[in-house]
Amino acid sequence: MAADLPPAAPGTAASPILVADIGGTNARFGLIGGRTVRDTRVLRCADHPSIEDAAAAYLSAVGLAAPGTPGRPRRGAFAVAGPVTGDRIAMTNLVWQFSVGRVRDALGLDGLAVINDFTAVALSVPRLAEEDRRQIGEGTPQPGAVVAVLGPGSGLGVSGLVPGANGRWTALSGEGGHVTMAPVSDRESAVLGQLRKGFDHVSAERVLSGPGLVNLYTALSILDGREPAALTPAQITDTALAGTDPHCVEAVEMFCAMLGTVAGNLALTLGARGGVYIAGGIVPRLGALFAHSRFRKRFAEKGRMREFLAPIPTYVVTHELPAFLGLAEAAGAE
């Protein structure tokens, strides 16, 4: 995880913290005061040339643009879809590139913490209530054990949560969505072979994301000698849920199964006895289709490791803005 926020400057403790969850398509902003997130807004990234412009537009929308305005945030915590290795941030699925220090100064903040978006989602897990998650299949979490988090959206985010002393947790920041995707069936092998004609490297993200759904649908159509329609990820999922196109149905079913494969791999890698959490914008929309898919079966299908994986619970995160909960954790909001 990136460095925590510096201590609040004298006289600013009562100011809210500006939080943002910035993905490849949308930037979600809000203000954290204590344990409460308020004044949330969703801005389209394409409508703003830079992250500081989007943040300034948000502050203007909530009446906090002018320096010195009562209640204006003095600190910020942003989650971004991309690697965070220093001051310079280049987002994976968005043209925005920025300096953390420059954005901090442009917004008039005393401190700005920037962490990976799935680091933020991982940090949200200790703050999730029972109604913020839906269990898929059997299993019981082992208290104080490592937790795995992954989620398909504009890309595929992957993180983990490691327990530490005094009830504190450390979130892992990595790029696990870009691991090589492995097939389990002949049909999956054929699909990945088709995708290799267009990509030098077929990663998990190439199939487990919004664009990945399109890739699956397109490859399946081509393999069956059918001209693929120009469908968006949302159209593919909606058509699959309606059951009106066999290739949309198969694409979503394969998506769920492949997600089970990757989730099982991650659980084995991290020893995630505390559970595996599926976040992101795609899976919660699938509802019963996901619950009855091959996800859970594929999750546990690891040969000799089946007995290790079977007790590990898997959950879909249903909270609307889990990254904000994680940013509150990263910011030390009580």
Phi–psi pair at 224, nearest 5 degrees: -95, 15
- Pinpoint the alpha helices (H) of 173-287: 186-196, 210-223, 233-242, 246-270, 283-286
Collapsing DSSP states into helix, strand and coil, what is residue 43? Answer: strand
24 assigned to a ligand binding site = yes
160 assigned to a ligand binding site = no
- Spatial neighbors of 63 by CB under 8 A, at least 6 apart, are 69
- Spatial neighbors of 88 by CB under 8 A, at least 6 apart, are 97, 98, 99, 100
261 assigned to a ligand binding site = no
Structure tokens at 3: 């460095």
39 assigned to a ligand binding site = no
Task: Tell me if 119 sits within 8 A of 79, measured CB to CB.
Answer: yes
Q: What CA–CA distance (Å, rounded) separates 15 from 185?
A: 55
Q: Which residues pair with 133 in a beta bridge?
A: 317
Which of 314, 307, 317 lies closest to 266 in space, CA to CA?
314
Structure tokens at 104: 């901090």
110 assigned to a ligand binding site = no
Phi–psi pair at 100, nearest 5 degrees: -60, -45
25 assigned to a ligand binding site = yes
Q: What CA–CA distance (Å, rounded) separates 333 from 36?
A: 9
133-136 and 314-317: which strand pairing? antiparallel
Residue numbering of the annotated binding site for ATP: 20-25
Residue numbering of the annotated binding site: 20-25
